[in-house]
Structure 1
Amino acid sequence: MFEGWMFLVTEIWVLLVLAGLLGLFCGWIIWGFGKKGRALNPEDAAVAGKTLPPLELEAEPGPPALPPGFNLDNTPDDLRRIRGIGPKIEAQCHRLGIYSYAQIAAWTAEDIAHIDAQLRGFEGRAGRDDWVSEAKALMVEKRQS
């Protein structure tokens, strides 16, 4: 039953060694044989000696202006009561200077587009979750309380 099995085992080992050698050779070719010993071209040396001018970053637009009549001495509203605003978005809103339902309720479509662009990782959320109408409803609820 097991006649000639030694030949099969030997054949498997030979094929495994050949596959390993082929893998090493391909890796050597792909990941750059001899990169370390290669000399720089004169053009590369000239570029390496030059310094690049400093980058001028575009200034980010500042936080939106507070609506008239909003006093920062007032306690900020809990923006998390608006559907779609969690702790992370609330922190980003505070970073942008947004603290009250009145501010959100006063937004125009242009303001929503501006704020959506500022909410990193949550772009489009303000328009999609309709924060303006929710803020208006929460303002009415707050006045009635």
Structure 2
Amino acid sequence: MFDMNPLALPDAQLQQWIMLFVAGTLGFIIGYVSRQRTIRHLEGGLAGTVRELDDCLRSPAPLAVAGSPEEVVVLNRIAARSGELNLDRIGYASADEADDLKAIVGVGPFLERKLHAVGIYTFRQIANFNQEDINLVNDVIEFFPGRIERENWVGQSIELAKKR
């Protein structure tokens, strides 16, 4: 009497193909948007990790110095400000490459430790100082203004680097 078979309609197959196409398209769009959101999230996390790694590589390790507690406090305070120096321009060096900075007239043992605290280990680095670097190093290592120029650290470092 009453036949309700939807497959008996003349355009049933066309309707099924259209629904299959729409479902596939919607699935693709939803998957694409979800994947892009996941990629953005992962790239943000990667950028944060890269920044943390750069900060870790640029900041010197905490100082383990045998000396008076006041000296350790001063060196740690100076090390905390080491990021203010432009080591990209001056040059990077490690404690393994360290020159005897006390060979520069005016640099004593404590001042050498201060320079090491900010990442300055070699004559080559000091030879690369410009006026801005000199002023900044004076400020960061809490040294007498003008003394680096008066004692000609840059010139002495150039000569000592050549001898090395």
- If the length of structure 1 is used for normalisation, what is the TM-score? 0.50
Percent sequence identity is: 33
Deviations 1:86-129 (A, max 9, x none): 00110110111100001000000111111111222544321221
1:101 touches 1:138 (CA, 8 Å); kept in 2?
yes
2:82 touches 2:118 (CA, 8 Å); kept in 1?
no
Identify, as 1 or 2, the structure richer in helix.
2
1:79 touches 1:90 (CA, 8 Å); kept in 2?
yes
Partner of 1:92 in structure 2?
114
Partner of 2:83 in structure 1?
62
Deviations 1:27-57 (A, max 9, x none): xxxxxxxxxxxxxxxxxxxxxxxxxxxxxxx
CA pair 69-112 structure 1, distance change in 2 beyond 3 A: closer
2:94 touches 2:119 (CA, 8 Å); kept in 1?
no
CA pair 76-127 structure 1, distance change in 2 beyond 3 A: same
Partner of 1:34 in structure 2?
none
Aligned residues: 84
Pairing 1:105–2:127 present: yes
The aligned amino acid for 1:126 is I
What stretches of structure 2 of length at least 5 have no aligned partner? 1-79
CA pair 129-111 structure 1, distance change in 2 beyond 3 A: same
Partner of 1:81 in structure 2?
103
* 119-128 vs 85-94, greater mean Cα deviation: 119-128
CA pair 125-68 structure 1, distance change in 2 beyond 3 A: closer
2:93 touches 2:121 (CA, 8 Å); kept in 1?
no
- If the length of structure 2 is used for normalisation, what is the TM-score? 0.45
Runs of 4+ that moved beyond 4 A: 66-71
